[in-house]
Amino acid sequence: MLIGGTGQIGYAITNFFIQRNWEVYMEQCFLKHSHKPVTILRPCAVYGICSQHPREWWFIKRILDKRPYIPLKYNGESTFHITLTQNIAKVIWASIDNMDFQIVNVADRTILSAKEIGEYIIVQLNSITKFISTDSAIIEDALVGFTPWSVSTPFTLDISYCKSLLDKVGLDLGCYTRDSRKYISWLASFSPLNWEKHFKQLAAYPFEQFDYHNEDQFIKKLIVGKND
């Protein structure tokens, strides 16, 4: 799924995430009835220090809990565009003198798969945790390895317009492997025991994200199956 980013009014809606119909309608109404120039930003899976929705905690807590294996849904190949908080700030700065009505997709310069994000975190935390790829269709295993970036089809923003805005003011988009080290260190400083009170938005997910019992059962079946 590619979301256009030309600065023009319009939006592609994915099947079950990011923008619901009412959000698109809200954007259109705001642009239509605004009497002054306005810029609407569309970031995607925002990350940065002080986040209450740090998706990376899905990996980091498992590493802190010394989990030897981490299963990854869709073989870890899911790509879900992410947005550094500094990138949002840069686009706001670049749009201060904007005299038009525009919608801007804001995301990182590069797109990483869920596995690539996890691999980078493992290196930063000097962990020896290993990944196990899975695409199990068994119902009880449906959420095993389901990361916050897990999607069945790629979710990508067209950031060409965003890049052109930043070029005009001499700025460029940041990327995960260059700009997330302090963020990962910040996350790793939290205890895995009481994380819910710090990351309330992440804790509000409608399913258990750290179901180690089912993970262990799945891994056990996988290992037994390989040895048969």
Nearest C-alpha neighbor of 14 from the set 147, 108, 205, 155: 155
Amino acid 28: pLDDT: 81
> Per-residue pLDDT for the chain (228 aa), expressed as one digit of tens each?
444 444 433 333 333 344 556 777 788 888 788 888 888 899 999 999 999 999 999 999 999 999 999 999 999 999 999 999 999 999 999 999 888 888 899 999 999 999 999 999 999 999 999 999 887 655 567 789 999 999 989 999 999 999 999 999 999 999 999 999 999 999 999 999 999 999 999 999 988 999 999 999 988 887 766 655
Domains delineated in the chain: 2-227 (3.40.50)
Amino acid 67: pLDDT: 96
Amino acid 17: pLDDT: 44
**HSE-CB of 150 using CA atoms within 13 angstroms:** 20
Quote the tokens at residue 50: 């002080």
Taking the C-alpha atoms of residue 189 and residue 93, their distance in angstroms, rounded to an integer, is: 31
Quote the tokens at residue 109: 């310069």
Amino acid 8: pLDDT: 39
Amino acid 197: pLDDT: 93
Quote the tokens at residue 18: 């990011």
CA torsion through residues 30, 32, 33, 37, sign = positive
